[in-house]
Amino acid sequence: MTMSAARAAFTEVLDRAADGAMTHVSRDGRICAHVVPEKALVIQGNELDVLMGAAIEEAANWLAQDAAQSGYFQAGDDIGRVFAWLWRCDPDQAARFFSVYAHKVTNTFEAQGMTRPALKVLTATLNVALGVCLTKDESREFHEYIRPRLKEWFHPFSAEELEGGDRPRDEDDPWPDATYFGKAFAKKRWRDVTRQQFVANPDRAPELGIDVDNWCRVSRVEDATVFLTHHDGSASTVSLEEAGDQFVPFQHYGPLKWPH
């Protein structure tokens, strides 16, 4: 409602508030005020930090668990709703808390022995979650606004990532974070893989794909050797003495059409 319309119908606006409805008042095409019900939960202190901290911690834990199942897909509906709400209320707060979220995700993944998701991967997963509440155009505007403003906050990303590039990787991280088509998978060290998990096929390194020939199942781990079963029933091994500290893409569920 425009400011002039709200002024002319102020009694009606107050009646709406008494009935539990909220009225947004705009000036020059932008929301400038809200008339809210008496019992609306208005944030006046550090309540936002407390609430966002709890939501972000839960979302980071959820993402770490979900990404390990079958790769990165989305960040979770709940955090999508929260960031959509922040974006529509205060884009600067959305940027600030995205940096907090990125750090929490990084710490959570690294505490579980996994590499952190690259900025491109994290924004792609959050973009799916934003779709719960935002349109595609709104989601695009969200990311276009936040990316250049990350420099104003403490964040885990490299300069290359802020410019749209990939996450820098060291010698112990030879595999790309995502396939050619953009599907990303969680990564952990060879020494941390366990029986029945799926790992990227070392014979195809460093080519990463989603098809069955790009993956192997861990049949067992004995002493310093990982025994792998390929989709065609053949077997191979990986020496932990040689590759134990290297990161490898993994997933719990395995690729589609895997011969069970």
* The predicted structure's pLDDT at residue 247: 99
* The predicted structure's pLDDT at residue 149: 96
* The predicted structure's pLDDT at residue 34: 80
Tell whether the model's pLDDT for residue 180 goes beyond 80: yes
* The predicted structure's pLDDT at residue 193: 98
Angstrom distance (rounded) from CA 70 to CA 125: 13
List the alpha helices (DSSP H) in 172-245. 240-243
Least confident of 38-42, 57-61, 178-182, 229-233: 38-42
pLDDT in tens, 146-159: 999 999 999 999 99
Could you please report the per-residue DSSP string of 66-132?
HHHHHS-----HHHHHHHHHHHHH-HHHHHHHHHHHHHHHHHHHHHTTBPPPPHHHHHHHHHHHHTT
* The predicted structure's pLDDT at residue 23: 82
pLDDT in tens, 160-178: 999 999 999 999 999 999 9
* The predicted structure's pLDDT at residue 32: 82
pLDDT in tens, 7-32: 888 888 788 878 888 887 888 877 78
* The predicted structure's pLDDT at residue 24: 78
pTM here is 0.89
Contact 153, 95 (CB under 8 A): yes
pLDDT in tens, 82-119: 999 999 989 999 999 999 999 999 999 999 999 999 99
Residue 14's CB: how many other CB atoms inside 10 A?
12
* The predicted structure's pLDDT at residue 136: 96
Tell whether the model's pLDDT for residue 38 goes beyond 80: no
Least confident of 37-51, 59-73, 163-177: 37-51
Q: How confident is the model at residue 60 (pLDDT cuts 50, 70, 90)?
A: very high
Angstrom distance (rounded) from CA 123 to CA 137: 15
The per-residue pLDDT of the chain, averaged, comes to 94
| Chain mean position to CA 244 | 27
Angstrom distance (rounded) from CA 108 to CA 94: 21
* The predicted structure's pLDDT at residue 52: 97
Region 221-244: mean pLDDT is 97
* The predicted structure's pLDDT at residue 202: 97
* The predicted structure's pLDDT at residue 166: 95
